[in-house]
Chain A
Amino acid sequence: MNRALPEMLQSSDMTVLERQRARLKWQAEQFQQQNYFSELSGVFSSQTGHVQGFQQGCLMSRGGARGDSVLSDMAMTRQLKHEPGLETAWQGLGKVDMEFAPCGYGSGPSFDMNHAISRTSSCPPAVAAAAAVGSKAVKGNSLKMGSTVGRVSFKKRKVEKSQNTEVVAEDESKRIKASEEERESKITGSSTHRNSTDKKENSGDTSKLDYIHVRARRGQATDSHSLAERVRREKISERMKYLQDLVPGCNKITGKAGMLDEIINYVQSLQRQVEFLSMKLATVNPSLDFNIENLYVKEVLPSCTTNFPPVGMAPEMENHSPYLQFNPIQQVVSGCGMEMGTNSCDMALRRTISAPVSIPEASFLDTSCFTDMQQIQPSAAWDVELQNLYNVEFPGSIEASGLKMEMEMEM
């Protein structure tokens, strides 16, 4: 699909950029100076699983999700592409290739680590030239998700310029597009005409700059569009990861469709909660005057005693006992005004996420429709958010601990 390239260019991914930089620094630190060219020839002549192993080692593969691997790969390639200023980093990256290959990392495609992904790295012509190293090794092969995700995702990468042919020859499923002569000329030439633009369309230009070679899957286009698409996919998967942290219960789901499902359910449930709560507020208040005393009461830090009577009331409390300790803390911490005291009984019972309705107001509703939507899960997301809140509002912590202890005693 053709995305407008300017769109992509304008979207600034600071986090990605930072990550790229961090990664490059890490890589640069890890690997020391070497003689590129000698290594290059040596390396590439003997590459088989080395490259693939390199792939794995280099890419910090995370949990096996396709998105992760894609992301990490992409991050690497993106380093190459985006930053003309990453010249040294690029060289560092080049070193990585040299280093790893001789290490004999992998032994063939049988890693159950994360998929060996074949990539042809892309980089802006300038960087490629600057490196003057055939550094971007050809990445191995078709990736396969080993055990974790059973989805095959073929990635294309642009080979910078390197003697990919030997390596590629080992590759089963990829076809190199790069032309060797150009590569060699580049290596020998070591010209550093920097192309200041890091546009992706230039990367597709294999015409005269020819520093970038796209390796694509069989039958796929090998132009800037595919590259752009790959970048886009990376971005999407990165954002999906953020969503995974946000939406409870998404940690176990790895597929995009499943996650979108969860997200949709969550958004719908939140919207329904809003509707329901607004209805409730409408019934509670005959006129729309939410008196300030209410607000004032909430603003003030309440005494702990107000928590207990409601707490004792509800039988459902037992279900939530593991969370009870957290919830008061969270409420105290985050409330400072909002959910303190008077309301903490409600909040204490359930996290907002898990159940929309508070128990004492059971008369009001039909909450079953909500409760089955959200399972109460000890998801890590809660703890993380809790930690965040806790860190943010430190003064509240003292009350929190006091409250917690009292709650536990009560239980």
Chain B
Amino acid sequence: MPLSSLKPKMRPHSSLKQEFLKKWIMGLQRCSFSKKNMSILERKKAIKFSADIAMASARNGTTCWSRSLISNASKEGSDIHVVEQILGSESDRPAVENKVPTRRASVCKKIVKRSCRIRRRRRRRKCVASAPSSIAKHLVRKRREVLKSLIPGGEFMNEICLIEETLDYITSLRVQVDVMRSLASASVRASE
């Protein structure tokens, strides 16, 4: 995904927020419609879930993490109707389906990479790194793995994609937090 398209996205926050809120409320209505008298934890889960899906759908399948999030959500059948509601049109479905082949391909790639890495590591066992560069690489690698675990669908990305996705994911999370917070405080104030 070209980086230049990322930068402008950071700007029109309000439109993104509006969209996110709309979709989120839609999903929540669907949730509350289906189940009554949910426990607090269920509610929290529903809220978070619909928020995540709404956030991901706001990207319209352009980013990897959003597609991965949606496909993960679509997998567990219980809340799929919420996903459908939020996603709405059929346009998002192809994006979800496309994820699978990419995943397979990237998994294969990952396996190949891993085997190469293992082979290389075995070779280099003797001259193991006391060299500062390799220590640095090791550190970076560790952190990269942690980041991969954080970003949805991150395990299948190469490094460049990972950083791009992180960028996008961070902006989306920020929007999500902003909207949720404003809604929360508005609700609190309204209930007072």
Contacts and interface: CB of A to CB of B under 8 A. Distances in A.
Interface of A: 1-4, 7, 11-15, 18, 151-152, 232, 235-236, 238-240, 242-243, 246-247, 255-257, 260-261, 263-264, 266-268, 270-271, 273-275, 277-285, 287-291, 293-295, 297-298, 334-339, 342-343, 346-347, 352-353, 356, 358, 360-361, 385, 388-389, 392-393
Question: Considering residues B52, B170, B181, which has the most beta carbons from chain A within 10 angstroms of its beta carbon?
Answer: B181
Interface of A is mostly: helix
Nearest to B164: A239
A266 B17 CA distance: 20
Nearest to A4: B109
Contacts of A283: 40
Interface of B: 2-4, 6-7, 10-14, 17-18, 21, 25, 28-29, 31-32, 36, 38, 40-41, 43-48, 51-52, 109, 113, 116, 133, 136, 139-140, 143-144, 146-147, 150-151, 158-160, 163-164, 166-167, 169-171, 173-174, 176-191
A281 B183 contact: yes
B181 A261 contact: no
Contact of B46 (A18, A274, A288): A288
Contact of A263 (B4, B29, B166): B166
A156 to B, nearest CB: 15
B143 A257 contact: yes
B148 to A, nearest CB: 10
Contacts, number: 210
A281 B183 CA distance: 8
Which A-B residue pairs are the 9 nearest by beta carbons? A288-B32, A282-B43, A260-B143, A282-B44, A278-B48, A270-B173, A277-B180, A239-B163, A278-B47
Contacts of B143: 257, 260-261, 264
B180 A274 contact: yes
B18 A337 contact: yes
Interface of B is mostly: helix
Given A243-B170, A352-B178, 14 more contacts: A257-B143, A266-B170, A277-B184, A278-B180, A290-B25, A290-B187, A291-B190, A295-B25, A334-B17, A338-B178, A338-B179, A338-B182, A342-B182, A360-B188
B190 A238 contact: no
Contact of B188 (A3, A15, A361): A361
A274 B173 contact: yes
Nearest to B52: A274
13 contacts: A13-B3, A239-B160, A243-B163, A263-B166, A274-B51, A278-B44, A290-B28, A297-B186, A334-B14, A335-B14, A338-B182, A352-B178, A356-B177
Contact of A246 (B31, B48, B113, B170): B170
A17 B136 CA distance: 30
